């Protein structure tokens, strides 16, 4: 597809400013396919990370270092909770907001009713503890949170290291009932996934995984994995990228023992949130394809990532991996870092950015 030099060469970029200086962000440097445009959906969302959508259109945004959870109402960020321990993961179901901290999951009931009250009259929200049995390790301890089509709540427990052997539940994706009961491991061998989604037709899980460090600039790749059923092992810490035995722990554990990635991604791009596009705003070629936020490398001599990529599927087979939006990295330095993607009911795509502290909106006008 023909690409343009800048997004604004095709469509006017609208800025919504609420005091964070969003109008100074160099959005004109973001490159998008022909016909697409990017704007600031809301600013003043410090450390914006994972996102979830309520039925009334409210977007909830978790953070990591900030310790806060926000609601975006009429494109304004409202603090729902603060002082939390790495509240990266957020999910919404049946009127309640679920928030994953480092070692526990909380539930905030009737949060939409709370948001309808005048700001001065809102009492502090008191959460219920859904489950507090997760390891407290900070290393890869931040969690992604999402409800699957089976009605269960999924989250990951990352490996507490760069590469190491640890017992369950480390390096796994877990699931439980919404009340926190029946907690079980869904997938093993997952170093650190910070994003999963389900195919709109097959209802099967797809998830990103961040590859280990200190094997070089180009090894190993990050991964997009496909988990059509429970009980699969995706290789960590013994095999990376489906074909690369770990030099320290791989002996006696051939890669053929494990489920290979559906698509290898760029090395060290830090692939995080992903979504299947199911809207009607974007051209048909993007429908039911996988959009991935790549947060960007921290330990590569030439930085890569800092972009939105797309993996195209044919059935359950990945056939193409390409960049969709880039430009947050300029001259080897990043002014923004995408974390998660979320589709709005109108078919536009939101992108959170924890470095710039904003949420962007990508639209298509043809």
User: Are 145 and 180 contacting, i.e. CB atoms less than 8 angstroms apart?
Assistant: no
How much is the pLDDT for 110? Answer: 97
How much is the pLDDT for 23? Answer: 64
Distance CA 45, CA 64 (A): 12
Question: pLDDT class for 150, splitting at 50, 70, 90?
Answer: very high
User: Are 116 and 122 contacting, i.e. CB atoms less than 8 angstroms apart?
Assistant: no
- pLDDT digit string, tens, across residues 138-147: 999 999 999 9
- pLDDT digit string, tens, across residues 287-334: 999 999 999 999 899 999 999 999 999 999 999 999 999 999 999 999
Distance CA 72, CA 90 (A): 13
pTM of the model: 0.93
Distance CA 78, CA 289 (A): 32
User: Given a cut of 70, is residue 91 above it in pLDDT?
Assistant: yes
Question: pLDDT class for 32, splitting at 50, 70, 90?
Answer: very high
CA distances from 134 to 85, 147, 162, 174, 280 (A): 13, 18, 19, 10, 39
CA distances from 256 to 50, 223, 243, 260, 261 (A): 33, 16, 8, 8, 12
**Domains of the chain: residue spans and CATH:** 7-361 (2.120.10.30)
């Amino acid at each position: 597809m023909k690409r343009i030099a800048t997004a604004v060469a095709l469509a006017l970029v609208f800025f919504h400013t609420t005091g964070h200086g969003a109008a100074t962000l160099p959005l004109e440097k973001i490159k998008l396919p022909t016909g697409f445009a990017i704007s600031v959906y809301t600013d003043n969302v410090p450390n914006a990370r994972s996102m979830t959508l309520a039925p009334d259109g409210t977007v909830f945004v978790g953070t990591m270092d900030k310790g806060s959870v926000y609601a975006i109402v009429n494109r304004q960020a409202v603090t729902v909770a603060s002082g939390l321990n790495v509240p990266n993961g957020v999910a919404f179901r049946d009127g309640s907001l679920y928030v994953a901290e480092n070692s526990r999951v909380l539930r905030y009931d009737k949060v939409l009713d709370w948001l309808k009250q005048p700001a001065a009259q809102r009492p502090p929200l008191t959460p219920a503890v859904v489950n507090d049995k997760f390891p407290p390790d900070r290393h890869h301890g931040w969690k992604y949170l999402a409800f699957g089509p089976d009605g269960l709540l999924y989250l990951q427990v990352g490996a507490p290291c760069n590469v190491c052997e640890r017992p369950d539940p480390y390096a796994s994706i877990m699931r439980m009932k919404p009340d926190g009961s029946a907690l079980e491991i869904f997938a093993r061998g997952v170093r650190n996934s910070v994003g999963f989604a389900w195919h709109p037709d097959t209802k099967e899980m797809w998830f990103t995984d961040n590859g280990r460090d200190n094997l070089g600039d180009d090894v190993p790749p990050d991964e997009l994995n496909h988990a059509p059923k429970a009980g699969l092992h995706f290789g960590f810490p013994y095999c990376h990228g489906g074909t690369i035995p770990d030099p320290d722990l791989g002996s006696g554990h051939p890669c053929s023992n494990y489920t290979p990635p559906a698509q290898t991604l760029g090395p060290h791009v830090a692939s995080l949130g992903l979504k299947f596009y199911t809207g009607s705003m974007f051209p048909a070629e993007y429908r039911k394809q996988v959009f991935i936020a790549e947060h960007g490398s921290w330990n590569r001599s030439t930085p890569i990532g800092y972009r939105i990529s797309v993996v195209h599927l044919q059935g359950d087979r990945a056939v193409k991996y390409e960049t969709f939006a880039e430009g947050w990295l300029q001259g080897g330095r990043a002014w923004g870092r995408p974390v998660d993607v979320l589709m709005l009911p109108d078919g536009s795509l939101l992108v959170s950015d924890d470095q710039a502290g904003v949420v962007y909106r990508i639209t298509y006008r043809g």
